[in-house]
Chain A
């Protein structure tokens, strides 16, 4: 697997003329120039777990962009752990905080601020859903390694030997961790070229982004989710009385 691109390398490629993006406690916030306008940036760096404070802070930055009006796109950079697993986070309602961040991103996109996710490291579970998967277009850099659950944990839950799961993972993408598998399900729409400047590649993603959610159609084309698109379409037809 290729190495993960470090955040400062990524930002230098994205904003060759400089930027105002900073990282504190693993949370990325700021902005930089893109074409003739600005690109707002939020995200998670350093395999950091997303807890209630982080989700609240990032959602606040997204709502700031919406409140300011205009059409500034929002880039969500992700190299995270899963959601923070703690009694305190759950006591205080982590599900609300993560859903709030996802809703803020979905509102921003619906109100004319295109949202683009860029996965450059790890991400998993609730943190993945609340950030990268809540964008209109999700891209990845080689070296990214999203996972819903690692194979040893799958082995524990399914009570199947790890070696058998590793064999199965070579031929079926639907349960195994890794970027290629998330590409096949349609969750990751595009892989970027790390050797070319990222700014124009992000600008092209924004320009080409589909208005509707096409992830299940992509999953069918790529073979990672053979039935989801047809099932959803059939429900729509039956609901309309056909």
Chain B
């Protein structure tokens, strides 16, 4: 590939994951110059549906898939471009990831990496997007059952919402940053449907506390908390590959126990800070302001360790 991320004053690894394009994330995440794209933008496989709505199209439909290496290991990778249609799943966007996961069963990479940046289903192609999400989830479980870890990375502008949140919940490991948000209904959707008393989407601190990376890591919904740099995501993704648990009854029974226990323990909590307090965090109000080092030290001090129940 001729393309290089713009990095005038800093190395690619030091760039913000949140600010970077999907292509820049992939280029920096993988070993230098190892990424090879499948169905690249030169093939111009664009949405057949967006012209109906008089909307502009993208040559890659907002989804970039291909192969590369991570610390010398062969991996397949998919990246969503949150700046095109909010990273939403349409027919081609989704089918590229379906194909990548089916390819994993044939070429047996060391891992499949999914760089989430999505608001969920693309409404203009809603039925195709929704069905693609179901196909992706089925394919992920098949790839995992074949012993290949599927690892999700969440830290983009669009967050990881809607069906993207369900796909993320199907991955064996999740890496998330402060800016990563992971949920099904987004703040605006809840507010629109249930009112501002239920969720005031303009209260950004509430959004981060409820759906953001630190809460998800503390709750056990994500396995690793990363700084908002491409280098930090690279290190966390590489570390996640070797120790992924199997996709079997034992793992899902452990997840069942983990999720049932969460309802029993935190089901009456009104705010994330109450949950953090019950987890043993002495000063919950200080959590949002912690640096990554401070947050990692906090995690190490808590009785809960990491788990394989996913």
Which A residues are within 8 Å of any B CB, using their own CB? Answer: 52-53, 56, 59-60, 63, 66-67, 83, 85-100, 102-104, 106-107, 110-111, 125-126, 128-130, 133-134, 148-149, 153-154, 157-158, 160, 168, 172-176, 181-182, 184-187, 213, 215-216, 219, 224-229, 231-236, 238-240
Contacts and interface: CB of A to CB of B under 8 A. Distances in A.
Interface string B158-173: 0000110111111000
A216 B272 CA distance: 40
A85 to B, nearest CB: 5
B106 A106 contact: no
Contact of B252 (A87, A89, A103): A103
Contacts of A215: 131, 134-135
A160 B137 contact: no
B76 interface: yes
B92 A231 contact: yes
Nearest to A97: B259
B306 interface: no
B189 A100 contact: no
Contacts of A66: 249
Given A90-B183, A130-B166, A219 B128 contact: yes
A239 B107 contact: yes
Nearest to B274: A91
Contacts of B138: 106, 134, 213
Contacts of B193: 85
8 contacts: A92-B269, A93-B216, A102-B170, A126-B166, A129-B133, A173-B127, A216-B98, A240-B103
Given A103-B170, A227-B91, A235-B102, 15 more contacts: A53-B263, A87-B199, A91-B269, A98-B166, A102-B137, A126-B163, A149-B126, A174-B125, A182-B131, A187-B127, A225-B91, A234-B39, A235-B38, A235-B96, A238-B39
A3 B67 CA distance: 50
Interface stretch (B48-56, B227-235, B236-244): B48-56
Which of A85, A107, A160, A215 has its CB near the most chain B CB atoms (within 10 A)? A85
B24 interface: no
B249 A87 contact: no
Chain A interface main SS type:
helix
B289 interface: no
Given A56-B256, A185-B128, A157 B123 contact: yes
B124 interface: yes
B72 to A, nearest CB: 19
Contacts of B248: 107
Nearest to B107: A239
A67 B249 CA distance: 8
Given A129-B166, A181-B127, A225-B131, A67 B253 contact: yes
B102 A236 contact: yes
Contact of A232 (B98, B128, B184, B221): B98
Given A228-B98, A228-B132, A56 B263 contact: yes
Interface string B92-122: 1011101110110011000000000000010
A149 B192 CA distance: 14
Contact of A95 (B99, B183, B252): B183
Contacts of B269: 91-92
Given A60-B256, A90-B210, A231 B95 contact: yes
B211 interface: yes
Contact of B121 (A86, A102, A148): A148
Interface string B210-233: 110001100101000000000000
B194 interface: yes
B252 A239 contact: no
A88 B272 CA distance: 10
Closest 4 CB pairs of A and B: A99-B169, A235-B99, A95-B165, A239-B103
B65 interface: yes
Given A94-B183, A174-B126, A134 B137 contact: yes
A9 to B, nearest CB: 28
A238 B38 contact: yes
Nearest to A147: B126
B260 interface: yes
Given A102-B137, A224-B127, A85 B260 contact: no
Contact of B65 (A148, A184, A235): A235
A231 B52 contact: no
B255 interface: yes
A172 B47 CA distance: 14
Which of A168, A175, A184 has its CB near the most chain B CB atoms (within 10 A)? A175
A174 B127 contact: yes
B98 A187 contact: no
Nearest to A110: B145
B254 to A, nearest CB: 11
Contacts of A110: 141-142, 145
B262 interface: yes
A232 B102 contact: yes
B281 interface: no
A187 B130 contact: yes
